[in-house]
Structure 1
């Protein structure tokens, strides 16, 4: 939902702090591994190769750091677009960074239908928004402390 705010600077991509936020939580592993719910993953949390659309398998060869960095930048685009195209246009860079980090982790459909998305578009940033971030704390149906920590950090970035 875009609001009519002619003085707003529309932010369309992560800045370096936003890139670092996601990289911090995702980590980078250059060989295939199983994520917390058993999905083959590589690089910064990629489950498929953006150039081909091929899913990562445990038999795939390792990638280089440069390949991981390049894949990460390509993979970010749909997440940035989901936040940019469906979120009010008066958000700050920190707001955008936090929302893209969340979206990168929960998916574009998850973000667009989330309470976080609704509250942000209503201009709410108080404890209700914090609680909405913290709702996304499960992996495989179980509360995951890493996700709790990530959501707390994303909310702190959002309000800073």
Structure 2
């Protein structure tokens, strides 16, 4: 089996689609990431500072990156899976790693024929560094719904987002986009280095509000839409540095300067 097109869109909706390489927020450098969570550790292409790709290239890279996770799911899970169950398992495996997935209670329940228990076990994988993350809570709930009911949810409603851009706010479901936003806020001095909360939490919201309050024409509401993204990119340009990515560009948007709304 292979991940379906809707499955790829589902994963991209939560990972983000980043067309300009950006650094790890914790190090300010390696590992560099591009596309749908792609780093050099996953294989070609090697990610380097300044690298820019197209949206189509991002999904081509994702399809290659998913092959190892698809193989891990097929190896770990013994009963045959329906396409939507397979897509949900690949999404989880891609996010938590093949080793964690293979040893998870989800796999044990599936192999024992305990399907309801397998669905419920998705919710257990909601922590990063021992801390419950609201973005992971939302992703696990969506994966469970996909696994149990075949509903792809957020993915199939994305056409509107591609027109107006995604708005980031507290509890955002786009962790890769949030991390990229935090990098830009750190470089502008609104978020202290190393104090990102790993999610769109109170620290990130406060940094956004401080930036908005200092920027003419922006409401200090802590929400990051196209206008705030464009203002962040402009502020970085004035500081003499190109934005890594204020939020991942969508179809029709430039790779580093989203359209203002």
Q: TM-score of the superposition, structure 1-length normalised?
A: 0.80
- The 1:124–1:34 alpha-carbon spacing in structure 2 relative to 1, beyond 3 Å, is farther
Distance 1:29 1:158 in 2: 26
Is 1:51 equivalent to 2:40 in the alignment? Answer: no
Is 1:109 equivalent to 2:102 in the alignment? Answer: no
**Which of 84-93 and 30-39 deviates more?**
30-39
Distance 1:119 1:93 in 2: 18
Deviations for 1:77-107, whole angstroms, at most 9, x for unmatched residues? 0011111122123221111111001001011
**Residue 141 of structure 1: how far off its partner (Å):** 2.6
Q: Secondary structure at the match of 1:132?
A: helix
Q: Which residue of 1 aligns with 2:110?
A: 120
Write out aligned runs for 1:55-74 (5 A): 56-57=47-48, 59-74=49-64
Q: Secondary structure at the match of 1:100?
A: helix
Distance 2:113 2:5 in 1: 25
Distance 2:23 2:138 in 1: 21
- The 1:142–1:102 alpha-carbon spacing in structure 2 relative to 1, beyond 3 Å, is same
Q: Which residue of 2 aligns with 1:148?
A: 137
Q: TM-score of the superposition, structure 2-length normalised?
A: 0.51
Distance 1:112 1:37 in 2: 28
Contact 1:36 1:139 in 2 (8 A): no
Distance 2:145 2:69 in 1: 20
Provide the aligned C-alpha RMSD in A.
Answer: 2.0
Contact 2:79 2:110 in 1 (8 A): no
Contact 2:105 2:121 in 1 (8 A): yes
Aligned residues: 145
More strand by share: 1
* Gap runs ≥5 in structure 1: 1-11
Distance 1:36 1:156 in 2: 31
Q: Which residue of 1 aligns with 2:84?
A: 94
